[in-house]
Amino acid sequence: MPSPARKFLMAGRGGLNLTHSEPLDLFLTRYGAAAARLEPYLRAFSPQDLRDFCAGLGEESFVGTSGRVFPKSFKASPLLRALLARLNGQGVVFKLRHEFVGFGPGRALRLRDPAGAALEITPDAAVFALGGASWPRLGTDGGWTRAFAEAGVALTALAPANCALHLPWSPHFLEGFEGQPLKSLRVSHGEQAARGDLVVTRRGLEGGPAYALASALRETLARGVEAKLTVDLRPDQRVEALAAKLARPRGKASLSTHLRKTLGLSKIDIAALREASPEGLPQEPQALAVRVKAALLTIAGVAGFERAISTAGGVAFDALDDELMLKARPGVFVAGEMLDFDAPTGGYLLQAAFSTGVAAGRGAARFLGLKV
């Protein structure tokens, strides 16, 4: 690309959520199946280490009400400028608009220059941080996977993560509620659950809870199984309490009015409840209360790479040694979103990128016989 760190700047559009302040043992659980593999790198360069590193660049951070950590400037650009200034001061040379094409013999790397001409370099060591495949217009198009596969590196196929959900909304629902929020929900799929607000879009649902469940729903669909999102419209109330309220005399009021007056459901809540009940809503209070607590929406798919916040899949940890060096290519190290892990929003992806970047850099330095 013509300038560095474009995806980092994109991550800063909402304030640059660097990491999270929760206890490290809890923090580690957010990485699911990859937690044990990432643990040594996250302990060696922890969330507090990242905050100290940013402070050393002149960018202090703060903990938000949700426990998420942000730069005090609430922007990515000041931190990026400070980092680039430090690198320039250390003699780093940037070669922009160059593309990695593949591996050559020995430690040779094949590149393509801005004019499209082929060139080959043979570094003493190389650290790859080419990202996944999300937001490909920013440069991370996942094209490196072909070259790595050809070199015999074990890979898990890249897939979009932390992305919107696609649903087959009815035209009537979209006409009335597109762009509006469903508030204070609990959504779940299998063992995964999340709480928060979701926004109705023309193609489905956007928002933190949708992003949190996107990978689990994507995997269900990949198995050829129907994927259902369970929506709890009143997560802080038990079914019995809701049923007791719904059992109050309804009189001549419509069912929608009854739901609004007894449970405080909004128009969009009731409309979503009907979307999940094409056969019609149950009339009996207990059954209706159960439906309010567990409305099932059919998920048709998830957003593609072009709109995904991050990527799942990548270089398998079994293809790497403890220093994040490729076993098949001595002297070549891999870091960040190229690695096979899936992290939720909340600062976890950036923290893992920084921590594995530190590990790969230190590994490369030790490979060269330098003191770390």
Domain boundary among 302, 324, 339: 302
Q: What was the pLDDT predicted at 14?
A: 79
340 contacts 145 by C-beta, under 8 angstroms:
no
Length of the chain: 372
**What confidence tier does 62 reach under pLDDT thresholds 50, 70, 90?**
very high
Q: What is the mean pLDDT of residues 195-223?
A: 96
Please report which confidence band the pLDDT of residue 119 belongs to, taking 50, 70 and 90 as the band edges: very high
Average pLDDT over residues 98-118: 96
The 10 Å Cβ neighbour count of residue 88 is 11
Q: Which amino acid, one-letter code, is at 267?
A: K
Task: Name the amino acid, one letter, at 160.
Answer: P
Q: What is the mean pLDDT of residues 123-151?
A: 96
Given this model, what pLDDT does residue 245 score?
97
Asked if residue 298 and residue 313 are part of one domain, the reply reads no
What's the half-sphere exposure (Cβ side, CA atoms, 13 Å) at 356?
32
Do 195 and 251 lie in one domain? The reply is yes
Q: What is the pLDDT of residues 69-83, one digit of tens each?
A: 999 999 999 999 999
Q: Are residues 149 and 227 in the same domain?
A: no
- Distance of alpha carbon 219 from the chain centroid: 15
The answer to whether residue 1 sits within a structural domain is: no
Task: Please state, in angstroms and rounded to a whole number, the distance separating the CA atoms of residues 339 and 31.
Answer: 12
Tell me how far apart the alpha carbons of residues 247 and 127 are, in angstroms, rounded to a whole number: 65
Of 219, 152, 164, nearest in space to 189 by CA = 219
Last residue of a domain, one of 251, 283, 302: 302
The verdict on residue 66 lying in a domain is yes
For residue 123, the enclosing domain spans 6-161+306-367
Q: What is the pLDDT of residue 61?
A: 97
CA distance 160 to 244: 43
What are the beta bridge partners of residue 119?
111
What would the pLDDT profile of 284-333 be if each residue is shown by its tens digit?
Answer: 999 999 999 999 999 999 999 998 999 999 999 999 999 999 999 999 99
- Whole-number Å distance between alpha carbons of 144 and 99: 9
Examine the domain organization and report whether 290 and 340 are in the same domain: no
Is 346 inside a domain boundary? Answer: yes
Interval 179-201: pLDDT, tens? 999 999 999 999 999 999 999 99
For the residues 117-128, what does the mean pLDDT come to?
A: 97
**What is the rounded CA–CA span in Å between residue 263 and residue 232?**
13
List the helix and strand counts (H, then E) for the chain.
13, 17
Q: What is the pLDDT of residue 23?
A: 97
**DSSP string computed for 47-109:** HHHHHHHHHHTT--EEE-TTSEEEETT--SHHHHHHHHHHHHHTT----TT-EEEEE-STT-E
The answer to whether residue 224 sits within a structural domain is yes
The pLDDT score that the predictor gives to residue 255 is: 96
DSSP three-state, residue 335: coil
Q: Are residues 175 and 148 in the same domain?
A: no
> Is 234's pLDDT higher than 90?
yes
Mean pLDDT over 249-267 rounds to: 96
Count the domains in the chain.
2
- Cα torsion 71, 77, 81, 87 to 10°: value is 80
Dihedral angle of Cα 342, 318, 152, 358, to the nearest 10 degrees: 70
Question: How far apart, in whole angstroms, are the C-alpha atoms of residue 231 and residue 242?
Answer: 15
- Say if 267 falls within a structural domain: yes
Residues 147 and 29 in one domain: yes
Give percent of the chain with pLDDT exceeding 70.
Answer: 100
pLDDT of residue 333: 98
For residue 40, the domain's CATH number is 3.50.50.60
Tokens of 226: 């129907």
- 271 and 204 share one domain: yes
State which of 302, 330, 347 marks the end of a domain. Answer: 302
Does 10 fall in a domain? Answer: yes
Q: Does a structural domain hold residue 127? A: yes
Beta bridge partners of 111: 100, 119
Residue 153 and residue 197 in contact, taking contact as beta carbons nearer than 8 Å: no
**What is the average pLDDT score of the chain?**
96
Check whether residue 243 and residue 281 sit in a common domain: yes
Whether residues 235 and 89 fall in one domain: no
- Residue 61 and residue 97 in one domain: yes
User: How far is it between the farthest Cα atoms of the chain?
Assistant: 83
281 confidence band (pLDDT: 50, 70, 90): very high
**Tell me, what's the pLDDT at 124?**
97
Domain check: are 271 and 284 in the same one? yes
pTM score: 0.90
User: What pLDDT, in 10s, does the model give residues 29-55?
Assistant: 999 999 999 999 999 999 999 999 999
On whether residue 329 sits in a domain, the answer given is yes
Q: What percent of the chain has pLDDT over 90?
A: 98
Specify whether 111 is located in the same domain as 195. no
Give rounded-to-5 percent helix, strand, coil for the chain.
40, 20, 40
